[in-house]
Structure 1
Amino acid sequence: MSTRTFRITVRGVFDGLGADQRAELLARAPEHDVLKASFTPEGHLSYDLAARPAFTFRFLDSGEAEEDILEAVERAETAATAWLTERGYGFRRLRAQGEDLSQAPLGKRQRREIARNTP
């Protein structure tokens, strides 16, 4: 059985931030820039607090079976909640979504490469 790669996105909205918390997030905004966003095993947080209070965590996980994505999504949501709670950041409307990359449609370049290498 092959290993499947999962990309999990956890989205939410900061809620009830104090002035100090907001200042801290704004000071750390360059390391959480949306343009630097990537899927990582430990999770990558991105936000643009100056524009709106929404945030996104991106997690990379894996499993052996298709059903393993459900546990991966749960782990990601738990990790995002823990990160926010440990820092005292209020949040609401937390929702998580997972994608099994083995089920993702091939892009145009990938299809062209397969066609080129198929006899």
Structure 2
Amino acid sequence: MDTDIAAAQHSYRVIVRGTFAGLGNEARAALLAEVDAHGLAGMRFTPEGSLTYDRTLKHFSYRYEIHSEAADGEEMAGAIAEDLAERALASQGWGFDRLRSTVTDMDTMKINRKPGRR
């Protein structure tokens, strides 16, 4: 395996947060019918994205695992994830506002291990 090719791709974990906006009665009913499947237990980073929200139907978040060129950086991974979230929300007919993302590059993340007991 060519290490240059392997190093060119990075894995990013992206959380896209936003606010529901202009939800009609049907959209609210559909979201509330599925609320238990979109709580804390459903928080996973996946390529398809996992949606979480609560009964207030005010804020939501999507968690994505994005594989992208390292040279494109975290900004591109965030833009890709925000685009995926916009498409997912629009496909359901759910209004939203104020998308923002937080990106972690898993390939450059430093892991602090606790020293072993002696």
Q: What TM-score, normalized by structure 1, do the two folds share?
A: 0.81
Partner of residue 100, structure 1:
105
The aligned residue for residue 4 of structure 1 is 10
Runs of 4+ in structure 1 deviating by more than 6 angstroms, as ranges, are: none
The residue correspondences of 1:23-102 to structure 2 (distance < 5 A) are 23-48=29-54, 50-102=55-107
What is the SS of the residue equivalent to 2:84? helix
CA distance in 1 between partners of 2:19 and 2:57 (Å): 9
What is the TM-score with the length of structure 2 in the denominator? 0.81
| In structure 1, distance between residues paired with 2:33 and 2:85 | 20
Give the equivalent residue in structure 2 for 1:18: 24
1:52 positional shift:
4.9
Question: Sequence identity, in percent?
Answer: 35
- Distance, in Å, in 2 between the alignment partners of 1:84 and 1:101 is 26
Aligned pair count?
110
1:92-116 deviation per Cα after TM superposition (whole angstroms, max 9, x unaligned): 111122110123231334xx47xxx
Q: Deviations over 1:43-68 (max 9, x none)?
A: 111111x2451000000012342533
Whether the 8 Å contact between 2:28 and 2:57 is mirrored in structure 1 is no
Flag structure 2 segments of 5+ consecutive residues without an equivalent. none
Shift of 1:28: 1.0
One-letter code aligned to 2:17: R
For residue 55 of structure 1, give the secondary structure of its aligned residue in structure 2: strand
Deviations along 1:31-84, one digit per CA (max 9) or x if unpaired, are: 211222010011111111x24510000000123425333222111111100111
Distance (Å, rounded) in 2 between the aligned partners of 1:66 and 1:104: 16
